[in-house]
Amino acid sequence: MKFCIVFIFMMSIAVSLTAQETVNEGYLLSDKRLASEHILKHESQKPYSISGLFISPNIGISFPIQDFGKNSRAAFTFGGKIEFASSDLFPFFIGGYFQYQKHSGAEEFKATNRIEVFETTITQFGGSVDVLLTQLLPNYFTMPVASLEVGQLSIKRVVTPAENNPDMLLSDSKIGVSAGLGFTIFIFDIVGKYTYAGEYSSININTRFHFPLIKF
């Protein structure tokens, strides 16, 4: 009888120790799993760097307004932009741009002044700042973008016959300021902007694509 009691007591201790060891192993495995999930979670939350140099070819259309609209028609625009992006500057992107456009003369203007050929070519160089308005539409695929450009406009004109030129400058230079608003969709932007450049002011619609040149 005593032997049975001692045997049962010893078995109880053994079972208790085994159960405690199993519980400890369970806690250890649970701790490892939680630690692993914590590491993966924080690794997945590492900030993604957007720093780099980008090229943005663009094509658009320019609508002359005011005096410019009276003597010239709308024209296609071609150009490009080199942009610098940095995680520290986000949501601002700074760059330099180039744009070329050639406007044909308005038919009524040519008829009134007996002009056969009237062309206005504008070449622009300047700097730009784009701002992604992430607070207005918090979406990484589509976001509003505001644009500001300041540049030098070089204007050349062709008037034929020259003797019928109604005192239009054949060569001119202006400082132009453009402000616009649009949307960026992944690597594609569409922006409408107003350009003030005195008698060469216009309203423009530009489309552009962003391609990385160098990533930091």
Q: Amino acid identity, residue 187?
A: I
pLDDT for 141 equals 66
Q: pLDDT by residue (tens digit) across 85-103?
A: 888 888 889 999 999 999 9
Mean pLDDT, to the nearest integer, of 103-117?
A: 95
The mean-pLDDT minimum among 75-79, 121-125, 130-134, 201-205 falls in 130-134
- Residue 132: what pLDDT? 86
- CA–CA separation, 179 vs 150, rounded Å? 9
User: Do residues 83 and 56 touch, judged by C-beta distance below 8 A?
Assistant: yes
First to last CA, the chain: 82
Predicted confidence (pLDDT) at residue 156 exceeds the cutoff of 60: yes
Residues 29 and 37: their CA atoms lie apart, in Å, by 12
How far lies 159's CA from each of 106, 131, 171, in Å? Answer: 13, 41, 11
Instruction: Tell me the per-residue pLDDT of 132-154, one tens digit each, with 9 for 90 and over.
Output: 887 766 666 678 999 999 999 99
- At residue 44, does pLDDT exceed 60? no
Which pLDDT does position 104 carry in this prediction? 96
Residue 156 in tokens: 């050349």
Which amino acid makes up residue 139? N
Residue spans per domain, the chain: 1-46, 52-215
The predicted model gives 58-66 an average pLDDT of 96
Average pLDDT over all residues of the chain: 80
Which one is predicted more confidently, 41 or 109? Answer: 109
Is the pLDDT confidence value at 27 over 80? no
Class of domain 52-215: mainly beta
